[in-house]
Structure 1
Amino acid sequence: MNHNDLEFFRALLTKMLEDAQQKGDSTLENMTDSNEIFADPADRATAESDRAFTLRIRDRERRLIRKIQAALQRIDDGTFGVCDECGKDVSIERLKARPVTRLCINCKARQEANEHLHGDF
């Protein structure tokens, strides 16, 4: 991978990181106070369901932030775009589609097939 490619992915990942952090901050700001009192149990259940959903979204955002930070670190240490399993280059097309990926398409397909076969999904 050449210098221009690495700079493209650094800029893309940095933008993704900023967006994810901003979404995470707004998610936390929009969460309702858990001390609200509800006269109707159905309203309480709906509020708790909404809160659980919001927390799941926040958890996904948090995990994405960690993956983006790890990808940026791989750019810095020279391992970005190299498959963790086979050591071959990950295609530019795959990296554009999923810049945080650590596996080439062949290793990812094999991993998913094994998960499906063993029910580890």
Structure 2
Amino acid sequence: MATAVSKIDEEGSDIELEPGYRPSADEPFMNRRQQAYFRRKLLDWKDSILRESKETLAQLQIDSLREPDVTDRASSETDWGIELRTRDRQRKLIAKIDAAIRRIAEGEYGYCEMTGEPISLARLEARPIATMTVEAQERHERNEKISREE
């Protein structure tokens, strides 16, 4: 028998998310269940990133970059450089995840910061930190490109 996953929201009341729950267009947009679902998704993503970062740091402490062969050492340094750049990008991603969690608490999550329109559930499912609708994002990127070219 499947058990429900309990989620405590900011006000402290229980919101039950049954296993396999997915937000649907058939329910009111950004209702409490959808907010709890995306909050859980964001927190799980953040936990995963933090866990990977800890594993990277532990591995850095274990592995030695004192390879006897110059070529092996250069290869190891390149690999670790790539890994550290990846972790830096993920550090910046954590800030975006935290901002999305704040928007949930403030009731702004799921709405485009440019137009105020709802962001599609499919977009939020694919990119839970999205702050704009696809159309607004495309407009923003076009304007950014034009600004760079001038």
TM-score bracket relative to the smaller structure: 0.7 to 0.9
Gaps of 5+ in 1: none
Flag as ranges the 4+ runs of structure 1 deviating above 2 A. 32-40, 111-120
Residue 141 of structure 2 corresponds to residue 112 of structure 1: yes
User: Any idea what SS the aligned residue of 1:88 has?
Assistant: coil
Higher deviation after alignment, 27-36 or 98-107: 27-36
For these two proteins, the number of residue pairs brought into alignment is 120
Q: Deviations over 1:72-100 (max 9, x none)?
A: 11101111111111222111111111101
User: Any idea what SS the aligned residue of 1:50 has?
Assistant: helix
AA matched with 1:98: R
Higher deviation after alignment, 24-33 or 11-20: 24-33
The aligned residue for residue 123 of structure 2 is 94
TM normalised by structure 1 equals: 0.85
Residue 71 of structure 2 corresponds to residue 42 of structure 1: yes
C-alpha deviation, 1:13, in angstroms: 1.0
Structure with the larger helix share: 1
Q: Deviations over 1:9-50 (max 9, x none)?
A: 111111111111111111111125687433322122111101
The two structures, once aligned, show a CA RMSD in angstroms of 2.1
Structure with the larger strand share: 2
| Aligned mate of 1:15, from 28, 44, 53 | 44
| Aligned mate of 1:62, from 45, 68, 91 | 91
- Distance, in Å, in 2 between the alignment partners of 1:90 and 1:96 is 10
Gaps of 5+ in 2: 1-29
AA matched with 2:111: V
- Distance, in Å, in 2 between the alignment partners of 1:51 and 1:111 is 34
CA contact (8 A) 1:82 1:88 kept: yes
- Distance, in Å, in 2 between the alignment partners of 1:12 and 1:97 is 11
Higher RCO by CA contacts (8 Å cutoff, separation 6 or greater): 1
